[in-house]
A and B are shown apart, each in its own frame.
Chain A
Amino acid sequence: MEQIFDSLSQFWQFTGFANCTWQHLAMIAIGIVFITLGIVKEWEPMLLVPIGFGIVIGNIPLFPGLNIGVYEDGSVLNTLYQGVRQGWYPPLIFLGIGAMTDFSALISQPRLMLIGAAAQMGIFGAYLLALAFGFSPNEAGAIGIIGGADGPTAIFLSSKLAPDLMGAIAVCAYSYMALVPVIQKPIMLLLTTKKERLIEMPKPRVVSQKEKIIFPIVGFICTAFIVPSGLPLLGMLFFGNLLKESGVTRRLANTAGGPLIDVVTTLIGLTVGASTQADKFLTGNSLKIFALGLVSFIIATTCGVLFVKVWNLFLRPERKINPLIGNAGVSAVPDSARVSEVVGREANPNNHLLMHAMAPNVAGVIGSAVAAGILLGFLG
């Protein structure tokens, strides 16, 4: 009988109940909030549901030494986590993004690319603030990239510059990407006048297939020569786009933009979530990162909108740009472009800005990859 009690007592020591702390419960609650937001509010469900469930997985209290935790070498979760840790999931996601993205809007109106550059100020604004908050330069660089509003880029850079902060940075980036409509709309309304919101832009010109094939090749060579450290992201992005536009690799493009990106998104979401274990996540630094992330989104949106307003001062009336597409310079594709469309139609129901906003939006993807390459080059 005593032996049975001993065995039961031993078993109890292995259970989650015996090893549970309030931090575990807090993190599990955060995970459930993420899942709820993804399912009920449908805010970035493809990301928030895997990340939320990953947070729950990563915070089940474990008896140490069972070799099943995400930070225990050789465990299943640890093996899957290597894609994040070594930084090879984000380039695969970029391959899929390239294979899914139509750059026609950008090719037909290349001047709008500069808005994508202006919105990257969010990255460097957050970098300066993070340094002021006492983070080291490499940590500040990893935090700053949240302002690019690009989850894979944030994961890629933080895994290289500040692996310890990667969980908080990734969760922060994806959370704010889900909140893009909530964050950007008031800033856009605050910074623009009713007259500016009514500006109608000329229709973009027709883009030929040849131009669309040349775009990824020339784009890659130019950007990679300027910032070679951004090679993994830029190379995969433009390669994916070439697969799509060449017209002869439709199957490869469909795989890269379909099953492959789905698999990698699932794994990256789950493992990033699982990496946010209570002892590593519930720290003062995480709170600072969330505050800086929010500020970086605000700076990015503000700079994008203000850049267009200033630019308009030098443009002829028929060439003026609606400043409501300035917010789309952050690379949250296509959410921020959708915000431009929605706010634009509220001002004038016949003014469709989506196609115009897609240009700075995809330029933002390129811009944030270039910015990540620069930070990696300086701080890596």
Chain B
Amino acid sequence: MRKTAIIFCLILASAGLRAQNLSDLIISEAMKGSEVSVTDEYGCHCDWIEIFNTSQGTVNFAGCFLTDDPSDLTKCQIPKGYNSTKLGPRQVALLYASGLSAKGVFHLNFTLRKGSTIYLVSNDGRTIIDSLDIPSELDESQSVAKFAHDNKEMVFDDVRPASPSPGIINGKHNQKSRAQMMKETDPHGWTLTIVSVSVVFAALLILFLIYNLSGNIFSGKYKRKAGKKKASGQPDEATAAAIAMALERYTASDMGPEAAAIAAALHLYLSESVHDVEPGFITIVRNPASDWANKSLTFRKTIRKI
């Protein structure tokens, strides 16, 4: 049991580590600034680098380094303590290589140079997570970007100059929406209809099976027949009738609501109708452990002959 718990904890811990795996980050695009480049929050056209989280978990890249100098891997550190450094699944972050890191969290203290390589370095300052070469012959209106051949596998092995798409997942603008794909693959909607109806039925069928099973358990269907005598009802009915008669006879005229509530509870109990067992409401339940059924507590005891 203990071993299982330890294994379970390790699995959970490893899942947590996976969610924070910095190796899932890539430098997906970069561009040497020009008049057609993006502007930062100060309105300046500047160089930019795009970082993409290829994983399905959130990755915080605070504390990581970016550099264009392989001999100085800790050239510019991403500040810690900001929520904006957390990258959600398949999200991108845009960093401005403005040369002035004091301008903000996402500003780097260097600018991009054609023919150089930029590196994304882990927060240990030694491990290179990813790099991107900026071609020396790159056109001013183009960026250099990484594309995935297979968007499911997220293997970004196609690096080439491209039309700039800052802040947008590369290639995504060329991808079709799910509705568009559905229009092509299922123009009349029959496939979606059949699948959806099946899923709705399956969901409610599963619920039916579960509640049917639990209902059988709670209603005592699977119980041994030992308790059957208690549930036979006949003696209870006589008792309840006696209580009802006593109520009618002895309750004062202003006790109408109380008497009605007790009578209603009795009726539901005897007719075995749907009965809310909840606090604040009069509820009559069978209690096999009750002392009322205990023979030793009856008023008359058998006279013993001495």
Write the nearest CB–CB distance from B209 to chain A, whole angstroms: 8
Min distance, Cβ B270 to any Cβ of chain A, angstroms:
11
Is A218's CB within 8 Å of the partner chain B?
A: yes
Q: Name the residue on A nearest B178 (C-beta).
A: A379
Q: Which residues of A contact B215 (CB under 8 A)?
A: 107-108, 110, 205, 211
Chain A contacts of B179 at CB under 8 A?
136-138, 161, 379
* B192 is an interface residue with CB less than 8 A from chain A: yes
- Chain A residue contacts of B200, Cβ below 8 A: 117, 120, 367, 370-371, 374
A226 to B208, Cβ gap below 8 A? no
| Cβ–Cβ contact B218 & A210, under 8 A | yes
The size class of the interface chain A forms with chain B is: 35 or more
Contacts of A209 in B (CB 8 A): 277-278
Residue total for B at the interface (Cβ-Cβ under 8 A): 41
Measured CA separation A374–B178 after assembly (Å): 13
Q: Report the tally of A-B residue pairs with Cβ distances under 8 A.
A: 144
Residues of B within 8 A of A375 (CB): 196
The chain A residue sitting closest to B206, CB to CB, is A222
Q: Mark A109-131, 1 if CB is under 8 A from B, else 0.
A: 01101101100110110011001
**Complex contact A117–B178 (CB within 8 A):** no
Take A108-B274, A114-B204, A223-B207 as given contacts and tell me if A127 and B193 are in contact as well, using a CB distance cutoff of 8 Å: yes
Considering only residues 81-138 of chain A, those with a C-beta below 8 Å from chain B are 102, 104-108, 110-111, 113-114, 116-117, 120-121, 123-124, 127-128, 131-132, 136-138
Cβ contact within 8 Å between A226 and B273 = no
Q: Which A residues are in CB contact (< 8 Å) with B246?
A: none
Given contacts A121-B197, A375-B196, contact A116 B204 (CB under 8 A): yes
Within 8 A of A (CB), among B172-200: 177-179, 182-183, 186-190, 192-193, 195-197, 199-200
Cβ-based interface call for B253 (8 A): no
In the assembled complex, the Cα of A123 lies from the Cα of B201 at a distance in Å of 13
Chain B residues, Cβ within 8 Å of A32: none
Please report the C-alpha to C-alpha distance between residue A366 and residue B208 in the assembled complex, in whole angstroms: 12
Say yes or no: A102 contacts B207, CB within 8 Å: no
Contact B189 A204 (CB under 8 A): no
A123 nearest CB neighbor, chain B only: B196
Q: What is the CA–CA distance of A106 and B211 in the complex, to the nearest angstrom?
A: 9
A214 proximal to B (CB < 8 A): yes
Most B Cβ at <10 Å: residue of A102, A110, A223, A366: A110
Choice from B182, B204, B274 contacting A117 with Cβ under 8 Å: B204
Q: Indicate whether A219 reaches chain B with its CB closer than 8 angstroms.
A: yes
* Interface residue A355 (Cβ < 8 Å from any Cβ of B): yes
B274 with A128: CB separation less than 8 A = no
Q: Does A206 contact B (CB under 8 A)?
A: yes
Shortest CB distance B300–A (Å): 34
Q: Would B204 and A363 count as touching, CB distance under 8 A?
A: yes
Is the pair B272, A203 in contact by a Cβ cutoff of 8 Å?
A: yes
Q: Report if A211-B218 is in contact (Cβ < 8 Å); known contacts: A131-B189, A136-B179, A227-B199.
A: yes
A-B contact pairs, 18 of them (CB 8 A): A108-B215, A124-B189, A124-B196, A131-B189, A137-B183, A203-B271, A204-B274, A205-B219, A206-B274, A207-B275, A209-B277, A211-B218, A218-B211, A222-B206, A367-B204, A370-B204, A374-B195, A374-B199
Q: 6 nearest interchain CB pairs?
A: A110-B211, A138-B179, A124-B193, A117-B204, A137-B182, A209-B277
Q: Which residues of A contact B (CB under 8 A)?
A: 102, 104-108, 110-111, 113-114, 116-117, 120-121, 123-124, 127-128, 131-132, 136-138, 140, 161, 203-212, 214-215, 218-219, 222-223, 226-227, 245, 247, 355, 363, 366-367, 370-371, 374-375, 378-380
